[in-house]
Structure 1
Amino acid sequence: MLPVEEIYPSLVETLSNNSMALLQAPPGAGKSTWLPLQLIRDNHFKHIIMLEPRRLAARNIASYLAQCQNENVGQSIGLRIRQEKQVSPQTKLEIVTEGMLTRMLQNDPELTGIDLIIFDEFHERSIAADMALAFALETQSALREDLKILIMSATLDATHITEKLLSFDHICPVLTSEGRSFPINEVYIPLKDETRWLAQIPRIIKQALAEQTGSLLVFLPGQKEINFVARNLTDLDETVSVFSLFGEQNKHIQQQAIKPAEIGKRKVVLTTNVAETSLTISGIRIVIDSGKKRAAKFNLKTGVTELITSNISQSSAVQRAGRAGRIEAGIVYRLGSRQTFERRNTHDIPEVLSSDISNFVLEAKQWGANINELCLLDMPSSGQVVQAEKLLLMLEATDIKCKLTNTGQKILNFGTDIRLAHMLIKAEVLESSHPGISLLAVYLISLIESRVKTSDELSVALNSQMTNPHPVFKKQLTYWLSRLKLKPVHELALSHLNILLALAYPDRVAKKRGQGYLLANGAGADLSDNYWHDDEFIAIAQMGGAKGSRIFSATPCDMISLELALPHLFNEKEVCEFDEKAGRFIHENRIMLGAITVEAKQNHAGIDQRLRTSAWLDLIEKRGLDLFVENKEAEQLFIRMFLAAKFYPDQYCEINKDCLLASLDIWLAPYLTDIKKLEQLKKFNYYEALKNIFDWQMQSALDILLPFRIKVPSGSNVRINYQLDGPAKLAVRMQEVFGLANTPMLAQGKLPLLMELLSPAKRPLQLTQDLSTFWQGSYKEIQKEMKGRYPKHFWPDDPSTAQATNRVKSKM
């Protein structure tokens, strides 16, 4: 009996009596296969949608469940993923990927005919899953009280999820399936040199094959590491076959990796986290976990999402180990010590907190809501929202009032990356004035999506694929030509390439600045060693590197033809800015594309108060608040406001440096009108301006919850030193806190206070966050020493009840 079978009656009853439920069950418990199939077999639901985060898992689950029904996929068991749809009027259980569920909700918010949505493997917390859940909760509340929602995973942060749902008035009971089908033994392999972890993998594979029976699954970050390991396994026994498994492979190759090994033989499957969840590979009883993954990291400054190699969380490690205990007792070899494992994050950081949310913001607009109005388990930062809104405006997806446009609607309906969708849609519009641009767009999107690297110069890369196409490029090209009903050509209109890149990546049009480039979004960029151009303007397709600022592929940009084709990207504005090197104001009329100046002419009119203030704001935004000198009180106020928003998000709006710099015109501009010189500006105390972001009631509450000073028993008002991360600090002479039995509380106990107790000469004696324990313990040792060193001062035997003083004994 599968573990999930034991709680099946309770689950059915819970869903019958509640609108939603959360199921925690270990890998191999049957939650992704047995459970949904049994729900339709018992006719508890007429039509179930089950969300799977990965296409490979979705396809294999659908295939397995169809086999259980003695049917083909598309009958009672359906499948709906990108470029593949197999459903029929007989379908009762539909396996879909995340984007598909979002489209279904957008097209039919009532989800007509569907009575249960299952969010499987929800611990991955992708943006699409969080978004679909938020939309589904609104559907349930406003349109479909009968709709049920089931959230499932082996490693969910159930407390966080249920508490957040409860804050939105959604009660979500938790059911837990204990135990697993088969036990899994854990082996930890410490590393002497963390940087050489990959070189250890082939040796560990050979060790595991020698020590264990059965086939083996190896988790690696990506294809590069898979290829390295495969090259170093050529000396294995002839009974052992090596396979690779990752998302970009075709179905046939993937199935070769998944199917059982031949009788009398073993297999080693080298995979990425594509095999981490909801996937059973026959014969696997050994897992080797590198503890690494390739994850998307969004750079808010450059607007670039870069794939980086990082450590996985403990929850991901549990999922990976679970692949070994699916069909028999298994073993997992973990790279690194147990201590290293225990220091990892418990759960993955939700994508919505660390990714580009432009598509999410656009989907929310079509849904008819702002991001902050949705039932989100974690809310993205205001900086992410601002960046997304700026990009959507440049993509013509929204208007100046941030409202969804017809183009934005078309972009969403296109069903691909919003940048590339905008490029294809506008290329069709421009075809009459720019012959060949539509076909060029198809070849360009095929090159970008296939990730085939041949040259940093895009025109060279395209020509290379025209003469010697890569198989992945050919596959993508065939798909797009068929979808858009176009025919292949032998020659491309490459003169339009910069226009297409500006349509897809308008924020990455760049102007030469020193040894690098200034992007239209205001960020800086550096050329890769292989990019040989020295053009004044370029259009960039791919960026990345450690700081997300290295240009990997681009093409020269003709700004005259670009402005004629895409006038919406350009605007003329009067600019006044302060040149620190020259020590003077510059007043010009400029044609701008975002942050880059295309053309500038001097403005001879006088500089008034409005222009001067605008120049100061631009300088502060560029330099940051560090431009101001001697502003310790203002800096402490900022930290207190930041902490207030952190501990009391329902009472205080989010405060951080990015927010402040993005809204200087609102909170700071009125205080700068009389400042005429840079030295005046640097000496300006912005304390009052910052304080007035909060209204009087909020300020009063702040002074109580997180006071600037605290009155100690001696009567002195001692300043507290706050920090963004970690406890606040109170440095005070020990005699002044005699009579204080316990450490004072900040933010109702939410922020610890570290007390630095000083000698009469204000030298540190003790650091403590627990004053009561200190008085009863190590104080005795300090008392003995201080009586000898400072005999004129008061050193009582019971400091917790003694009289506080800031004087010597004779004057008490």
Structure 2
Amino acid sequence: MLPVQDIYQQLVTTLQSNPITLLQAPPGAGKSTWLPLQLMRDGHFKRIVMLEPRRLAARNIASYLAKCQNESVGQSVGLRIRGESKVSANTRLEIVTEGMLTRMLQNDPELSDIDLLIFDEFHERSIAADTSLAFALETQSALREDLTIMLMSATLDTERYTAFFDCPAIQSSGRSYPIDEVYIPIKDESRWLDAIPSIIKQALNEQTGSALVFLPGQFEILRVQQALSDLPSNCQVATLFGEQDKANQQAAIAPAPNGMRKVVLTTNVAETSLTIEGIRIVIDSGKRRAATFNLKTGVTELTTQSISRSSALQRAGRAGRIEPGIVYRIGSKQTFERRNSHDNPEILTSDISQLMLEAKQWGASIDELTLLDKPTEQQCEQASNLLNMLEAIDSKGKLTPLGSKMLGFGADIRLAHMLLKAQILDDQLPGIFRLAIYLVALLESRVNSVNELSLALHSQQQRPHPVFKQQLKYWQNRLKVKDEKSELNTHYISLLVALAYPDRIAKKRGNGYLLANGAGAELNADYWHNDDYLAIATMGGHKGGRIFAATALNPFELQEFLPHLFSELTRCEFDEKSARFIHQDEVKLGAITLTSQPSKQKLDKGERAKAWLNLFAKHGFALFNEQPDAQQLLIRMSLASNLMPDKFPQINEQQLIQNAAQWLGVFLEDIKTLTQLKKFNYFEALQNCFDWQQQTALKALLPLRLTVPSGSNIKIEYQLDGPAKLSVRMQEVYGLTSTPMLANGKLPLLMELLSPGKRSLQLTQDLAHFWASSYRDVQKEMKGRYPKHFWPDDPANSVATNRVKSKM
């Protein structure tokens, strides 16, 4: 009996009475197979759609459930993945992958006839799953109160999710079979891969049954496979990863032949929702290949990272699906326990341009979506810039008709833009559409090892890699383009790359390149090009800044087809090295300056002021000569805004630098030289940031000077952190019984009492206490040193003076 069967009735009742429910059940509990099938058979829901994050798992679950029904896929149990759709009018349970569910929601926001959505393995938190869930929640609240949503995983962050979604959680305790744990510490963590083959052999000697070995990627799988050539003859080695063809994947999943044992080397494609018969040993490297997005370069780079504890539990669960199992973990138990509890969600570490475009198509902004985690402002800015370059949104951020077509294309939005534009341009540029299909096949197959893209395409046309052939056939069939044997017209390849990767158009700069998005890049060590301009398709390496596949580019040939990438502007700036103004007319492509020549326009006051403002943005207030009164005014205004925000607007140095055009710009228009600028007194300009009433209030609450009992007007020194300071000779504050108050008592005043020779005698914030206590010691010393001055016994009730005693 499967563990999930014990809580089935409770779960059904909960689903029928709540819009959203969480189900936490361990690997092997039956949540991905027995549960959805039973819900369908019992007729609790008319039509169920279950989202599976991985295509391999989706295909196998659909096949298994159809087999349980004694049917083929496409009857009561359907399947919808990229390039494969098997559904019919009789389908009541449909297994879909993430992108498919998003498309279903975009095409039919009401999800007609669907009354239960299941998000399986929700702990993986892909952007696509987060997007689909956000749309589904909006559909549920605005259009379909009868739509039920269930989130499932073995390792949900239950406490957080129940609080966020305000929903119940059902837990299925127990695993189908127990799993033992073995930890294998290694001396040198950097050589973990070298340790894997011997650990596999150890596990095979110590245990019975077949083994599943988790490795980060194909490179590691190949290394380990080569090291296992001396296994006993009854041990069969198989590989399993996402890019494999269906036949090899099914061979890896199939049970070992009678009398044989199997060692399956896999990536995390086998981590969830997949049962490989005969597996009772899991060997976990503790590593995975994860996408890391570099905001600066706009490149997503795959890096090897340690997995979280929740992922490790998912992997271990593969061992206990059909009998008691065991997991061998690389590293100590202490190291394991120091790992993060859950992996970071993709939405915080990835390019969110697809999400932003999906949201615009949905009719919402990202901020309006119900998302467990929100992307940062920097992510949103980067995505918006890219979508504008891809013509998916206009200058006002509105979705364009082309952007809408790109979303429905079922491909990466960069490649969708390239294919759609190439199709439009084919009459004008014959052969460009065919070339675009070849280029998409090359980029998606990831089999290219040639840095020059035109050579790579010719190579694949002459001796195609099987994966390339598969991708090419897929796109030719989908776009209804017949295969031709004629040579490709690679003249248009730079235009195609620019259509897909406009942010990666690059100009030579020193030993490297400047990208259109403002980032720097360098050539791969064995790249032999030295062109002034490149169109880059593939980047990676350290911080995503290394060029791996590109082609030479003439940027001016792009202007006819991608005019929106180009801008004409007049640049006016002060060059500090030459101490003169630079006034140039320029043509730019993003951050790249294509042409620059002396401006034909007369330099006007406004442009000159902008140049000075740019200099001020670079240096801040240090640009000006020292101006104590202006500097004190800035501090006083900042203090006023912090201490009394209800009376004064927010003012601080950084904000003033950022908004200098608003308060400083007009004062700089008549300044013609750097010397004049340095001497400029910014007191008046700064003062005008407060209106007349606020200026009056500032003088009263935080005065620049304070009149003391002697009649002298003494300057106060303010600071941003700590009390204000008043340095005054002691005789001038006789008769003052308490410390003066600033800002209605909100800012303390530190009084520095000075001798007649202006040497510091006492620091106090409580003048009354000083008169009554330590003044006696000061009086005794000062009478001897300054006998002609007045040192009364009762200073609090004496007359202040700024003269010597004989002149009183």
Which amino acid counterpart does residue 148 of structure 1 have in structure 2? T
Q: Which residue of 1 aligns with 2:42?
A: 42
* Residues 175-214 of structure 1 aligned to structure 2 (within 5 Å): 175-214=170-209
Question: Which piece of structure 1 moves more, 92-101 or 604-613?
Answer: 604-613
Q: Which residue of 2 aligns with 1:424?
A: 419
2:662 aligns with one of 666, 670, 678: 670
Find the aligned partners of 2:425 and 2:161 in 1 and give their Cα distance.
Answer: 47
Structure with max Cα Rg? 2
Which amino acid counterpart does residue 599 of structure 1 have in structure 2? T
Question: Which piece of structure 1 moves more, 215-224 or 459-468?
Answer: 459-468
Q: Which residue of 2 aligns with 1:139?
A: 139
Find the aligned partners of 1:459 and 1:560 in 2 and give their Cα distance.
Answer: 20
* Residues 729-744 of structure 1 aligned to structure 2 (within 5 Å): none
Kindly state the Cα deviation for residue 586 of structure 1 after the two structures are TM-superposed: 2.0
**Closer, same or farther in 2 for the Cα pair 1:75/1:546, shift >3 Å?**
same
User: Is the CA contact 1:79–1:87 (under 8 Å) kept in the aligned structure 2?
Assistant: yes
* Residues 723-734 of structure 1 aligned to structure 2 (within 5 Å): none
**Closer, same or farther in 2 for the Cα pair 1:399/1:231, shift >3 Å?**
same
Question: Which piece of structure 1 moves more, 89-98 or 5-14?
Answer: 5-14
* Residues 426-575 of structure 1 aligned to structure 2 (within 5 Å): 426-486=421-481, 487-575=483-571
**Closer, same or farther in 2 for the Cα pair 1:376/1:616, shift >3 Å?**
farther
Q: Which residue of 2 aligns with 1:752?
A: none
What is the TM-score normalised by the length of structure 2? 0.79
* Residues 518-667 of structure 1 aligned to structure 2 (within 5 Å): 518-603=514-599, 605-608=601-604, 610-612=606-608, 614-615=610-611, 667=659
User: Is the CA contact 1:218–1:271 (under 8 Å) kept in the aligned structure 2?
Assistant: yes
Q: Secondary structure at the match of 1:238?
A: coil
**Closer, same or farther in 2 for the Cα pair 1:603/1:67, shift >3 Å?**
same
Q: Which residue of 2 aligns with 1:308?
A: 303
**Closer, same or farther in 2 for the Cα pair 1:381/1:430, shift >3 Å?**
same
**Closer, same or farther in 2 for the Cα pair 1:466/1:629, shift >3 Å?**
farther
Q: Secondary structure at the match of 1:103?
A: helix
Find the aligned partners of 1:110 and 1:634 in 2 and give their Cα distance.
Answer: 57
* Residues 4-153 of structure 1 aligned to structure 2 (within 5 Å): 4-153=4-153
Q: Deviations over 1:51-84 (max 9, x none)?
A: 0000000001111111111111111110000000
Find the aligned partners of 1:365 and 1:49 in 2 and give their Cα distance.
Answer: 24
User: Is the CA contact 2:616–2:657 (under 8 Å) kept in the aligned structure 1?
Assistant: no
Kindly state the Cα deviation for residue 627 of structure 1 after the two structures are TM-superposed: 10
Q: Deviations over 1:612-669 (max 9, x none)?
A: 45446767888999999999x999x99xx9xxxxxxxxxxx9xxx9xx9xx9997453
Find the aligned partners of 1:684 and 1:445 in 2 and give their Cα distance.
Answer: 60
Q: Which residue of 1 aligns with 2:249?
A: 254
Kindly state the Cα deviation for residue 306 of structure 1 after the two structures are TM-superposed: 0.8
Q: Which residue of 1 aligns with 2:162?
A: 162
Question: Which piece of structure 1 moves more, 581-590 or 9-18?
Answer: 581-590
Q: Which residue of 1 aligns with 2:713?
A: none
User: Is the CA contact 1:466–1:490 (under 8 Å) kept in the aligned structure 2?
Assistant: no
Find the aligned partners of 1:179 and 1:299 in 2 and give their Cα distance.
Answer: 41
Are 2:293 and 1:298 aligned? yes
Q: Which residue of 1 aligns with 2:410?
A: 415
Which amino acid counterpart does residue 127 of structure 1 have in structure 2? I
Which amino acid counterpart does residue 513 of structure 1 have in structure 2? R
* Residues 370-381 of structure 1 aligned to structure 2 (within 5 Å): 370-381=365-376
**Closer, same or farther in 2 for the Cα pair 1:239/1:140, shift >3 Å?**
same
User: Is the CA contact 1:272–1:293 (under 8 Å) kept in the aligned structure 2?
Assistant: yes
**Closer, same or farther in 2 for the Cα pair 1:340/1:297, shift >3 Å?**
same
Find the aligned partners of 1:157 and 1:236 in 2 and give their Cα distance.
Answer: 41
User: Is the CA contact 1:587–1:604 (under 8 Å) kept in the aligned structure 2?
Assistant: no
* Residues 260-279 of structure 1 aligned to structure 2 (within 5 Å): 260-279=255-274
Find the aligned partners of 1:224 and 1:569 in 2 and give their Cα distance.
Answer: 38
**Closer, same or farther in 2 for the Cα pair 1:579/1:185, shift >3 Å?**
farther
Q: Which residue of 1 aligns with 2:728?
A: none
Kindly state the Cα deviation for residue 606 of structure 1 after the two structures are TM-superposed: 4.8
**Closer, same or farther in 2 for the Cα pair 1:514/1:270, shift >3 Å?**
same
* Residues 317-332 of structure 1 aligned to structure 2 (within 5 Å): 317-332=312-327
User: Is the CA contact 1:519–1:525 (under 8 Å) kept in the aligned structure 2?
Assistant: yes
Structure 1 gap segments, 5+ residues each = 166-170, 642-652, 694-716, 722-802
Kindly state the Cα deviation for residue 160 of structure 1 after the two structures are TM-superposed: 2.1
Which amino acid counterpart does residue 552 of structure 2 have in structure 1? P
Q: Over aligned residue pairs, what C-alpha RMSD do you find?
A: 3.4
Q: Deviations over 1:592-612 (max 9, x none)?
A: 111111112211545455434
Kindly state the Cα deviation for residue 161 of structure 1 after the two structures are TM-superposed: 2.1
Kindly state the Cα deviation for residue 239 of structure 1 after the two structures are TM-superposed: 0.3
Which amino acid counterpart does residue 661 of structure 2 have in structure 1? A
**Closer, same or farther in 2 for the Cα pair 1:113/1:567, shift >3 Å?**
same
**Closer, same or farther in 2 for the Cα pair 1:236/1:586, shift >3 Å?**
same
Q: Which residue of 1 aligns with 2:238?
A: 243
Find the aligned partners of 1:622 and 1:200 in 2 and give their Cα distance.
Answer: 53
How many residues are treated as equivalent by the alignment? 678
Which amino acid counterpart does residue 421 of structure 1 have in structure 2? A
**Closer, same or farther in 2 for the Cα pair 1:562/1:29, shift >3 Å?**
same
Which amino acid counterpart does residue 183 of structure 2 have in structure 1? Y
User: Is the CA contact 1:511–1:519 (under 8 Å) kept in the aligned structure 2?
Assistant: yes
Find the aligned partners of 1:564 and 1:499 in 2 and give their Cα distance.
Answer: 11
* Residues 338-349 of structure 1 aligned to structure 2 (within 5 Å): 338-349=333-344
User: Is the CA contact 2:216–2:288 (under 8 Å) kept in the aligned structure 1?
Assistant: yes
Kindly state the Cα deviation for residue 191 of structure 1 after the two structures are TM-superposed: 1.8
Q: Deviations over 1:291-350 (max 9, x none)?
A: 111111110001111111111111111101111111111111111111111111111111
Kindly state the Cα deviation for residue 463 of structure 1 after the two structures are TM-superposed: 1.1
Are 2:359 and 1:364 aligned? yes
Which amino acid counterpart does residue 336 of structure 1 have in structure 2? G
User: Is the CA contact 2:585–2:600 (under 8 Å) kept in the aligned structure 1?
Assistant: no
**Closer, same or farther in 2 for the Cα pair 1:302/1:610, shift >3 Å?**
farther
Q: Secondary structure at the match of 1:428?
A: helix
Which amino acid counterpart does residue 543 of structure 1 have in structure 2? M
Q: Deviations over 1:218-264 (max 9, x none)?
A: 00000000000000000000000000000011111001100111111
**Closer, same or farther in 2 for the Cα pair 1:683/1:456, shift >3 Å?**
farther
**Closer, same or farther in 2 for the Cα pair 1:226/1:445, shift >3 Å?**
same
Q: Secondary structure at the match of 2:543?
A: coil
Find the aligned partners of 1:464 and 1:558 in 2 and give their Cα distance.
Answer: 24
User: Is the CA contact 1:613–1:672 (under 8 Å) kept in the aligned structure 2?
Assistant: no
Fraction of identical pairs, as percent: 63
**Closer, same or farther in 2 for the Cα pair 1:152/1:494, shift >3 Å?**
same
Q: Which residue of 2 aligns with 1:337?
A: 332
Q: Secondary structure at the match of 1:481?
A: helix
User: Is the CA contact 1:481–1:488 (under 8 Å) kept in the aligned structure 2?
Assistant: no
**Closer, same or farther in 2 for the Cα pair 1:190/1:111, shift >3 Å?**
same
User: Is the CA contact 2:308–2:342 (under 8 Å) kept in the aligned structure 1?
Assistant: yes
Q: Which residue of 2 aligns with 1:732?
A: none
User: Is the CA contact 1:502–1:508 (under 8 Å) kept in the aligned structure 2?
Assistant: yes
Q: Secondary structure at the match of 1:564?
A: coil
Q: Secondary structure at the match of 1:414?
A: coil
Find the aligned partners of 1:437 and 1:682 in 2 and give their Cα distance.
Answer: 61
Which amino acid counterpart does residue 142 of structure 1 have in structure 2? A
**Closer, same or farther in 2 for the Cα pair 1:620/1:186, shift >3 Å?**
farther
Question: Which piece of structure 1 moves more, 289-298 or 552-561?
Answer: 552-561
Find the aligned partners of 1:356 and 1:490 in 2 and give their Cα distance.
Answer: 38
Find the aligned partners of 2:13 and 2:680 in 1 and give their Cα distance.
Answer: 68
Find the aligned partners of 1:484 and 1:623 in 2 and give their Cα distance.
Answer: 56
